[in-house]
Amino acid sequence: MFSKIKNNKMLIISTLLALNLTINLNAQQIRTPAASPTAELKLTVGLTDISIVYSRPSVKGREIFGDLVPYDKLWRTGANMATKISFSEDVKIEGKSLAAGTYAIFSIPGEDEWTLIFNSDTNQSGTGSYDESLDALRVTVKPGQLEGEGVETFMMDINAIRNDNAYLLLVWANTIVSVKIDVNTDEQVMAAIKTAMDPASEAGKYWAAANYYFESGKDLDQAIEWLDKSIALGNNQFWVVHLKAKMLQKKGDCTEAIATAEESKKMAQDAGNDDYVALNDKLIASCK
């Protein structure tokens, strides 16, 4: 009986020692920096959400394109797992249609031309499992060259953002690749305006539609009509009245534009907003 108890005690002690050793080993694990850290970019172009997840290798004194990354061979366009790009809406890449969704980006760098590939299989690393039959789109672009020391760590960005387009940039060492992305903002907004205006009873809807028409260079008479409705429904703010002054000025009706700007200026003064006082003074001076 004593022997059995003793054996059980020894078993318990051995188990506790093993558990303690495991805990200590886990606690002693060392976290080290990633050679190619992961980055994530999220932004909106027009009404289209775009996100990019990729890993960022560095030059580290090496020759990149034509050496570490050979010309005319498939490249993962980054490091580690496949670089992923997502679009919430249908887009056009260099004028070619691409459906909304998430894609792996591969590329074939060349001295004078790059091929950019949007592949449907996003769960892959390297190029070993790449399947050309899953390509959703291929486009070709001309690379550019950077002066000076260049960019040490591979970078992707969305730049030159407008309501209807932007550019995807791939930059590493002394090479920059720019890829145009077109989005369907105007089509989406016009569809929303049509729905909201039939019928419309909210000041905010009229304001949003009028402002979009003005900023997009559309029918000014329609924009002014909607803005007047917004004001009549209680949206009588100095920045709203100032927008109407800008619309009238753009139409060439400086007499009404000055009177409206004077009204907006008085409202801005009462609200203590010096910025809009200055904006109205500038509009009045330009009309005179």
For range 52-61, the mean pLDDT: 97
2 lies in a domain? Answer: no
pLDDT, position 125: 86
Let me know the angle formed at the C-alpha of 206 by 204 and 209, rounded to the nearest 5 degrees.
Answer: 105
Spatial separation of the C-alpha atoms in residues 175 and 149, rounded to whole Å: 11
pLDDT at residue number 29: 83
Does one domain contain both 179 and 60? Answer: yes
Task: Work out how many domains the chain is built from and give that number.
Answer: 2
Final residue of a structural domain among 183, 202, 226: 183
Q: Is the pLDDT of residue 42 over 90?
A: yes
In the listed set 138, 166, 183, which residue is the last one of a domain according to the structure? 183
Residues 197 and 269 in one domain: yes
Amino acid at 58: S
210-222 pLDDT, tens digit each: 999 999 999 999 9
More confident residue, 33 or 146: 146
In this predicted model, what pLDDT tens digit does every residue of 97-134 receive, in sequence order? 999 999 999 999 999 999 999 999 999 988 989 999 99
Yes or no: say if 207 and 116 are a contact pair by the CB < 8 Å rule. Answer: no
Q: Which residue has the higher pLDDT, 20 or 146?
A: 146
Pair (169, 282) in one structural domain: no
Question: Minimal CA–CA distance to 172: which of 153, 148, 149, 144?
Answer: 153
Assess whether 220 and 177 both reside in one domain: no
Domain-located, residue 23: no
How, if at all, do strands 48-55 and 38-45 pair? antiparallel
The verdict on 146 and 178 lying in the same domain is yes
- Reduce the DSSP state of residue 119 to 3 states and report it: strand
Report pLDDT digits (tens) over 146-160. 998 899 999 999 999
- Clarify whether residues 136 and 223 are in a common domain: no
- State the pLDDT at residue 5: 44
Residue 121 CA to residue 137 CA, distance in Å, equals 12
Residues 194 and 261 in one domain: yes
Of 183, 200, 218, which residue sits at a domain end?
183
Sequence-ordered strand ranges (E) for the chain: 38-45, 48-55, 84-87, 91-93, 96-98, 101-108, 114-119, 135-141, 143-145, 151-159, 165-173, 175-183
